[in-house]
Amino acid sequence: MHAPSIIERKRDGKELDESEIRFFVRAFTLGDVPDYQMSAFAMAVYFRGMSPGETVALTLAMLDSGVRFTWPESAPRVVDKHSTGGVGDKVSLVLAPLLACDGSWVPMISGRGLGITGGTLDKLESIPGFRVGLSMEEALAQIERIGVAMMGQTSSICPADRKLYALRDVTATVPSRPLIVASILSKKLAESLDDLVLDVKYGSGAFMKTREEAVLLGEAMREVGNSMGVVTRVLYHAMDEPTGRAVGNALEVAEAIACLQGGGPEDLRNLVLDLALEVSRSERKQLAEYLDDGTALLRFRELVEAQGGDATAIDRFDEVHVAPVIREIPAPMSGVVTRVDAETVGRAANGLGAGRSRAEDPVDHAVGFDCLPKVGEEVVAGETLARVHARSTKEASEAMERFLAGLSVE
Ligand code: URA
């Protein structure tokens, strides 16, 4: 096969067959198709799209570029969740241990934050000692023991996706539906799941700005997942205000711990339970009980210990990362909160150092916002509306100003 001819066919809107896609991805993984040819291919896909059949072929080719989990015969159901990402989305930290409470296995492969949405791995790394770089062997042994592991993509899991994502990032080809579907699902399929729930977000703080776009992506992922033998369900959630009341790595972990202790913000708890229900055999009442009676927290403790983290930090998490400056933000007027714009809060948190713009940048675990108001709540002028955690008074003032620009009180 001839790589330029495959690029040409895609450029001209022709449908590629499975063998062409497989050849192209394999040659790219081996280095025989150079980055410039893959970049041209990605741009052709960006403009021409892919049929469902091509998308399945691309997903499979990316999956087969690496290894996948092989579970023993005796394994229970293997389940996971993927979220397309949102501001303040700390659901995975609660959901992974919760799903393991009823005996399911949860091999959660997560990513780092890029853009305005934080990454689960960054949040986990705010727990002192927590190691996200597990090998597949380590993850398998841990899952056999405690039912759950939370890790990053290893170099042997979907290497074609790793290489391609890095290229997409610098060639303006990230927002292509077939490329997103193949990228997300190849990694989830490497977990050899029985059931998967997808939390597809739309709105100001999400990748997809409208529900229509989110549904197109969600349905494409559902089709590909189901066609590969994974029972795939999709929930759609608005991301116009942040999830919960905290945005920032350690601040979000503190909120996730509160949820694992049966408390925390109501929207977070409901989101966790809604998603859990889709892949769990337990009823909602039972899942809620696991949160309320400490069962899920105990599983989280075991997870932290198993991955080298300091489990005692869980009980005093607000002391683990303390930003040099913590300022209260007073409400500018009295009334009902009608908008806490997720994108604005996410960008303000990024400005404080909570996120990154390049994959290799470090993040500051301590900074961000907490005690955020929710839409529909009443506030009184001058009373505390939220708190900003910053590295300096200057950064705190800038973040406060940005935050207030995204707030409406009527
Ligand atoms: N997350 C991924 O892993 N891949 C994409 O293409 C987009 C989001």
HEC profile of 70-132: CCCCCCCCEEEEEECCCCCCCHHHHHHHHHHCCCCEEEEEECCCECCECCHHHHHCCCCCCCC
pLDDT value at residue 114: 66
Alpha-carbon distance of 57 to 61, in angstroms, equals 6
- C-alpha 174 to ligand 1 mean position (Å): 8
Q: Same CATH fold, 79-315 and 3-63?
A: no
Angstrom distances, CA of residue 65 to CA of 157, 235, 314: 8, 29, 38
Evaluate: CB of 186 within 6 angstroms of ligand 1: no
DSSP-based three-state secondary structure for 310: coil
DSSP-based three-state secondary structure for 360: coil
pLDDT value at residue 191: 97
- C-alpha 184 to ligand 1 mean position (Å): 5
Which residues are part of the catalytic machinery? 82, 161, 168, 183, 187
Alpha-carbon distance of 365 to 403, in angstroms, equals 19
pLDDT value at residue 362: 87
pLDDT value at residue 169: 82
Domain 79-315: top CATH class: alpha beta
- C-alpha 247 to ligand 1 mean position (Å): 21
The CATH H-level (homologous superfamily) assignment of domain 325-409 is Pyrimidine nucleoside phosphorylase-like, C-terminal domain (3.90.1170.30)
**Greatest Cα pair distance in the chain:** 69
pLDDT value at residue 118: 67
Evaluate: CB of 106 within 6 angstroms of ligand 1: no
Mean pLDDT per 10-residue segment, the chain (410 residues): 96 97 97 97 98 96 97 97 94 98 96 77 96 96 98 94 90 92 96 98 92 96 96 97 97 98 98 98 97 98 98 95 97 97 96 84 93 98 97 98 97
pLDDT value at residue 42: 97
CATH 1.10.800.10 fits 3-63, yes or no: no
pLDDT value at residue 1: 85
Residue ranges per domain, the chain? 3-63, 79-315, 325-409
